[in-house]
């Protein structure tokens, strides 16, 4: 997406989602794991990009699975007409697994209790499709190794359950030389041997975006690209990934102030010269972190320009110097970076966080979405 000075509809706060970029990224990622099926991870409303449009684009790009966190996310996709295999892996103990089984959604079990709740929800004559999760060292969700054999044997003996896969998740795959990766791979191999010894013949999936890009030995039967499919690179080396999200607003007011005048709450910024200010109607209620006050630029009029003073709930102010923008001119808060505009990664680095958090936080009531590259 190219930043422009277009006055089109002058959005208050809008994210443009480039579905062609998502298709490109998934095609690239699939080519990096040619022997594996691709599970496109669309949890958390597709990392803030919109679950249903992204799911459709992912399937068009060759994804044979879609991954969600909650069963509710998976059911919403199924109800919207998505027929692709769906996998849901984390819910509260009172979730209605019966609805997921009836909708042909694969479920995850990390404990005997979870396995039994899933089995109990299967109607007579049906089998729940289950992926057993082994904790290989993330120490988050997953069955502890000491309880793994018992879980596997119970699953193998349960007539209402079909064990589709075993899986786990890597803690440090975005640090390709981290020793924990090999340790987790070893534990995963041991867990697979236990499953085979119990008479199961499951698929395996372990590789997230980072492992997909750096550890072909861990691709196994299914790979699970998440952040990389949205064009954000989780590994140190350069990759031909295209960021799919651009966050933009428009100039609402232009005024000129004299040197010595201060801007916004607390008067933390004072003009050193006469200057033009552009008021932008997007603030921390729209996803612009207040903690970026005094530390962020926007793209306006073909170049970067600094934000003056504190970011407010509903607005921010841009120091334009002698450049005088027009009301309605586009303001890009972050984008792909190809033209010099700020990026989600830049925001994350300044805030001491990760770009996942930046894009996911763009799911907000006042932020309008526009999809580019939609197909009928």
Tens digits of per-residue pLDDT, 265-308? Answer: 999 999 999 999 999 999 999 999 999 999 999 999 999 999 99
pLDDT reported for residue 375: 83
Q: Could you give the percent of the chain with pLDDT greater than 90?
A: 96
Model pLDDT for residues 200-247, shown as the tens digit of each residue: 999 999 999 999 999 999 999 999 999 999 999 999 999 999 999 999
pLDDT at 10: 67
Active-site residue, from 186, 255, 265, 356: 265
As a whole number, mean pLDDT of residues 185-201 equals 98
Tell me which fold the domain 245-372 belongs to: Lyase, Ornithine Decarboxylase; Chain A, domain 1 (2.40.37)
pLDDT, residue 11, reads 75
Q: What is the pTM of this model?
A: 0.94
Q: How many residues does the chain have?
A: 376
C-beta of residue 356 within 8 angstroms of C-beta of residue 47: yes
pLDDT band of 2, cuts 50, 70, 90 = very low
pLDDT band at 367 (very low <50, low <70, confident <90, very high): very high
In this prediction, residue 352 has a pLDDT band, given cuts at 50, 70 and 90, of very high
CATH for 19-230? 3.20.20.10
Please provide the distance, in angstroms rounded to a whole number, between the alpha carbons at the two ends of the chain. Answer: 20
Query: Which pair of structure tokens corresponds to residue 120?
Result: 């109990």
- What pLDDT does 131 receive? 98
Q: Give the containing element (helix H, strand E) for 22.
A: helix 19-32
pLDDT higher than 90, residue 9: no
pLDDT of 193 strictly over 80: yes
Sheet holding 303-306, edge to edge: 303-306, 297-300, 330-334, 245-250, 14-18, 368-372
Banded pLDDT at 67 (limits 50, 70, 90): very high
Residue 8 has pLDDT above 60, yes or no: no
Options 43, 133, 230, 363, the catalytic residue: 43
pLDDT tens digits for range 109-127: 999 999 999 999 999 999 9
Average pLDDT, the chain: 96
pLDDT given for residue 7 in this prediction: 42
pLDDT at position 322: 97
pLDDT above 70: residue 71: yes
> What distance in Å separates the CA atoms of residue 228 and residue 61, rounded to the nearest whole number?
14
**Does 178 or 363 have the greater pLDDT score?**
178
What does the domain layout of the chain look like in residue ranges?
A: 19-230, 245-372
Residue 265 a catalytic site member = yes
43 catalytic? Reply is yes
Q: For residue 343, what pLDDT band results from cuts at 50, 70 and 90?
A: very high
The stretch 348-368 carries a mean pLDDT of 96
Taking a C-beta distance cutoff of 8 angstroms, is the pair 141, 110 a contact?
A: yes
Quickly state the pLDDT bin for 1 (edges 50, 70, 90). Answer: very low
Q: Reduced to 3 states, what is the DSSP secondary structure of residue 88?
A: strand
* Rounded Cα gap, residues 169 and 179, in angstroms: 15
**Count of other CB atoms within 10 angstroms of residue 72:** 14
The predicted pLDDT at position 119 comes to 98
């Amino acid at each position: 997406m190219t930043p422009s000075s277009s006055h089109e509809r002058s959005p208050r706060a809008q994210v443009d989602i480039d579905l062609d970029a998502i298709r490109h990224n998934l095609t690239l990622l699939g080519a990096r794991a040619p022997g594996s099926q691709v599970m496109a991870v669309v949890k958390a409303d597709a990392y803030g990009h919109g679950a249903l449009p992204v799911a459709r684009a992912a399937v068009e790009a060759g994804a044979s699975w879609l991954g969600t966190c909650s069963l509710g996310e998976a059911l919403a996709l199924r109800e919207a007409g998505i027929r692709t295999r769906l996998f849901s892996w984390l819910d509260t103990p009172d979730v209605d697994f019966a609805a997921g089984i009836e909708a042909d959604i694969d479920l995850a079990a990390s404990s005997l209790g979870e396995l039994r709740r899933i089995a109990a929800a299967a109607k007579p004559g049906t089998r729940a499709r289950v992926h057993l999760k082994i904790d290989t060292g993330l120490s988050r969700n997953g069955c502890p190794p000491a309880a793994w054999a018992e879980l596997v044997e119970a699953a193998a003996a349960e007539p209402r359950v079909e064990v589709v896969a075993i899986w786990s998740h890597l803690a440090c795959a975005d640090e390709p030389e981290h020793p924990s990766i090999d340790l987790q791979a070893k534990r995963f191999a041991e867990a697979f041997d236990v499953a085979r010894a119990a008479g199961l013949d499951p698929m395996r999936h372990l590789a997230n975006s980072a492992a997909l890009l750096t550890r072909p030995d861990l691709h196994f039967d299914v790979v699970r690209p998440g952040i990389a499919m949205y064009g954000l690179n989780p590994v140190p080396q350069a990759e031909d990934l295209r960021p799919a999200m651009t966050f933009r607003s428009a100039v609402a007011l232009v005024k000129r102030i004299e040197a010595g005048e201060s801007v916004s709450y607390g008067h933390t910024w004072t003009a050193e010269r006469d200057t033009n200010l552009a008021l932008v109607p997007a603030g921390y209620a729209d996803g612009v972190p207040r903690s970026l006050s005094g530390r962020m630029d926007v793209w306006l009029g073909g170049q970067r320009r600094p934000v003056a003073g504190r970011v407010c709930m509903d607005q921010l102010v841009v120091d334009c110097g002698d450049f005088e923008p027009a009301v309605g001119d586009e303001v890009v808060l972050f984008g792909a970076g190809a033209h010099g505009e700020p990026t989600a990664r830049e925001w994350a680095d300044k805030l001491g966080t990760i770009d996942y958090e930046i894009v996911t936080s763009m799911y907000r009531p006042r932020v309008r979405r526009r999809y580019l590259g939609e197909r009928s």
